[in-house]
Amino acid sequence: MLPDQTALEALHAGGIDIPMSCEQGVCGTCLTPVLRGEPEHRDQYLTPEEQAANDQMLLCCSRARSAIAGPPPRHGARPGGRRCWCGCSVCWREKASNCFRLSGLVR
């Protein structure tokens, strides 16, 4: 991800399409867990406390504040004990259409 690039722009550059709606950081459709690294929050959806926790981000408008290197961590329990709509441990999407596992983005 380039310094002036949103996470969505970086994903699109990599050929990855994810569910989007407002693309302005207000609806929460693109809410995604942060597995590592530090996001630069530019949304109006998360509370200041949720942004400070740095465990989730809105991909459509937020960026990376830190570089990420090395293999991704194994998926485990999500912050706050939240589970995905489908029960998977990959993400915590609230609708089946947004689930990263069901959409094929993550296995």
Is 23 near ligand FES (CB under 6 A)?
Answer: yes
User: Of 63, 47, 52, 51, whose CA–CA distance to 10 is shortest?
Assistant: 63
Binding mask 29-48 for ligand FES (x = CB under 6 A): xx--------------x---
Residue nearer to ligand FES on the CB measure, 98 or 102: 98
Give the three-state DSSP class for 96. helix
- Taking 3-state DSSP, the helix, strand and coil percentages for the chain, each rounded to the nearest 5, stand at 20, 10, 75
Q: Is 27 in the site for ligand FES (CB under 6 A)?
A: yes
Identify which of residues 20 and 90 has a Cβ nearer to ligand FES in the complex.
Answer: 20
